[in-house]
């Protein structure tokens, strides 16, 4: 059984639970995405589902439901998101079919949006960094590093890989330019170095 078929079978088993069936009611299409779809999940990894329909996104323990309105799916706004590219490349459709493909995604626009989000995150972290405990510093440092990895992929016109794959890639080959990139967000180099050390990155 290939990886995608395995993910599909496991997701279908998950979908058969009464609780999840209730949560997904009204979705015209459903795709499994993230590490579960790519078979690089850890034991504690969430089950991530993209649901096309008219409902609200919901996150609870072990489950993340991202709802997107059908009218938005074919819009430039959706097609300029990293999630649209990720699902097109890695998603496993459990119900229905995708209405877009990888060639429809505007990766350059997604990269610009990602860079703007990184800049906002760095500016927010800077004044609060010393107020955070070690555990929260490590958490935010890791999240920031992953966002920079996602930006790098989007800038190359590539879909964003699951977080577990990003972590594995970083362990093999860190990005040597990450400090200079983050310093470009108008934050002192010394603080960036401390943030990276806190995340052991």
CATH topology of domain 3-104: Beta Polymerase; domain 2 (3.30.460)
Over the chain (201 residues), the average pLDDT of each successive run of 10 is 51 59 84 90 86 90 91 90 96 91 96 92 88 91 91 95 91 83 72 72 50
Q: Tell me which residue of 189, 145, 185, 151 sits closest to 167, measured CA to CA.
A: 145
pLDDT at position 10 is: 55
Q: 171: exposed, middle or buried (C-beta count within 10 Å: 0-12, 13-18, 19+)?
A: exposed
Map out the domains of the chain as residue ranges. Answer: 3-104, 107-198
Q: 14: exposed, middle or buried (C-beta count within 10 Å: 0-12, 13-18, 19+)?
A: middle
pLDDT at position 179 is: 78
pLDDT at position 150 is: 95
């Amino acid at each position: 059984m290939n990886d995608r078929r395995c993910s599909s079978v496991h997701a279908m088993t998950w979908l058969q639970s009464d609780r999840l069936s209730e949560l997904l009611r009204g979705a015209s299409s459903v795709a499994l995405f993230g590490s579960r779809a790519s078979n690089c999940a850890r034991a504690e990894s969430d089950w991530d589902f993209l649901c096309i329909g008219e409902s609200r996104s919901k996150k609870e323990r072990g489950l993340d439901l991202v709802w997107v309105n059908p009218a938005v799916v074919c819009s430039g706004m959706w097609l300029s998101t990293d999630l649209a590219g990720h699902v097109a490349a890695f998603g496993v459709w459990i119900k229905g079919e995708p209405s877009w493909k990888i060639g429809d995604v505007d990766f350059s626009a997604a990269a610009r949006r990602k860079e703007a989000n990184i800049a906002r995150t760095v500016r927010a972290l800077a004044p609060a960094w010393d107020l955070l405990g070690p555990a929260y510093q490590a958490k935010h440092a890791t999240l920031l590093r992953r966002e920079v990895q996602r930006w790098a992929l989007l800038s190359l016109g590539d879909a964003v890989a699951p977080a577990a794959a990003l972590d594995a890639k970083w362990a093999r080959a860190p990005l040597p330019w990450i400090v200079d990139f983050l310093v470009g967000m108008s934050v002192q180099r010394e603080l960036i170095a401390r943030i990276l050390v806190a995340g052991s990155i």
